[in-house]
Structure 1
Amino acid sequence: MTDRRPGATPRQKHDAKITVYVSDEELLALEHARLALRAHHGVAVDRGRVVREAVAVVLADLADNGADSVLVRRLRQDSGP
């Protein structure tokens, strides 16, 4: 299925699903990001696409930078000493 709207990215079928719980603030931030992508960058995507891209970015950073990755630093910060 292809989205024909101007600025839209092609849709892909996904075979697996996970459920992720987020805070109200995180959900609001995600929606703000989605709206900013559309309003300021002409990229019309749903929240799921934003999340999938964010996961891809953070996993690539982990693969490239290991212990120095943003993910490792943030998780260590959250878990304490």
Structure 2
Amino acid sequence: MRRRAELPGASELFRTTAAPAAGPPARPGPEEPRGDARSRSGSGRRKHDAKITVYVSDEELLALEQARLALRAEHGIAVDRGRVVREGVAMLLADLDARGADSALVRGLRQEEGE
């Protein structure tokens, strides 16, 4: 009887799971448009290169978690909170690109300033 457990080697643990990218994505120059509403979408499930920290209230975190659970229970979509947030950001930015001053983002921020 062996006393040591057989563990996988480093090559099995740290294998590549996706094809490497050709390079960093090109950023639009001053003469290029930022993109239109149709080109924006959440980045989905992939490795992300940048990270931000966002502070939310307990109520906002609870609402986000309830939305995530509702997506799973009612719509069969299993996602994490980060993916929900990325999709929401993409939707807001697409709306801003398409509608400008009439976008939900501008209206919401203006309303918040008025409080």
Query: Shorter chain as normaliser: what TM range?
Result: 0.7 to 0.9
> Which residue pairs with 1:71 in the alignment?
105
Instruction: Identify the residue that residue 31 of structure 2 maps to in structure 1.
Output: none
Which residue matches 1:17? 51
Structure 1: runs of 5+ lacking an equivalent:
3-9
Instruction: Give a deviation string over 1:17-55, Cα, whole Å, max 9, x none.
Output: 000000000000000000000000000000000000000
In structure 2, the residue matched to 1:42 is: 76
Higher Cα Rg: structure 1 or 2? 2
Q: Any runs of at least 4 consecutive aligned residues in structure 1 with deviations exceeding 2 A, and if so which?
A: none
Aligned-partner SS, 1:79: helix
More relative contact order, 1 or 2 (CA 8 Å, 6+ apart): 2
Deviation, structure 1 residue 62: 0.3
Alpha-carbon distance in structure 1 between the residues aligned to 2:74 and 2:56:
25
Match of residue 8 from structure 2 = none
Whose helix fraction is larger, Structure 1's or Structure 2's? 1
Amino acid at match of 1:34: R
Number of equivalences: 74
- Classify the secondary structure of the residue corresponding to 1:65: helix
Instruction: Identify the residue that residue 114 of structure 2 maps to in structure 1.
Output: 80
1:32 alignment counterpart? 66
Residue among 77, 80, 86 paired with 1:52: 86
Question: Between the two proteins, what is the percent identity of the paired residues?
Answer: 76
CA distance in structure 2 between the partners assigned to 1:40 and 1:12 by the alignment:
24
Distance across 1 between alignment mates of 2:114 and 2:48: 36
Q: Structure 2 unaligned runs (5+)?
A: 1-16, 19-43
